[in-house]
Amino acid sequence: MARLSRGATPHSRTLRLGSALRHALDGIRHAWQTEPNFRLETAVGALALLLALWLGVNLAPVLLAVGLVLSLELLNTAIEATVDLASPEPHPLAKTAKDTAAAAVLTASVAALLLGLYLFLPPLWERLAR
């Protein structure tokens, strides 16, 4: 059984977990409402999952790729907000931080696209050739 910190009860740990979950969902809600790229990547990810189900492709790599892209987009949003708070005026280092975070999302997106082509093209070609 997990050890409780001094003064912590199972009830207080549950409350902290619930609070952490609410904060995480608030972050997802914020990204959904304010970030068009997050909405687009979510839609593309959902389509990829539906295509994987239709083609009978292993879902694990697709889920991992979708999760990676969406997670990096959320981190990109957090980095942009932090940079804007710390450096409201344009600064070369602020630009570098934002550009590099965006590059991480782009890199994962390209890798996900290549993975999708690798996984989906053979069974898709086979279905269409029937």
Active-site positions read: 73
Q: 38 and 70 in contact (C-beta within 8 Å)?
A: yes
Q: At what angle do helices 36-55 and 92-129 cross, to 10 degrees?
A: 20
111's tokens? 């890798």
Query: 43-73 burial, b for 16+ CB within 10 Å, e for fewer?
Result: ebbeebeebbeeeebeeeebeebbebbbebb
End-to-end CA distance of the chain: 56
25's tokens? 């969902």
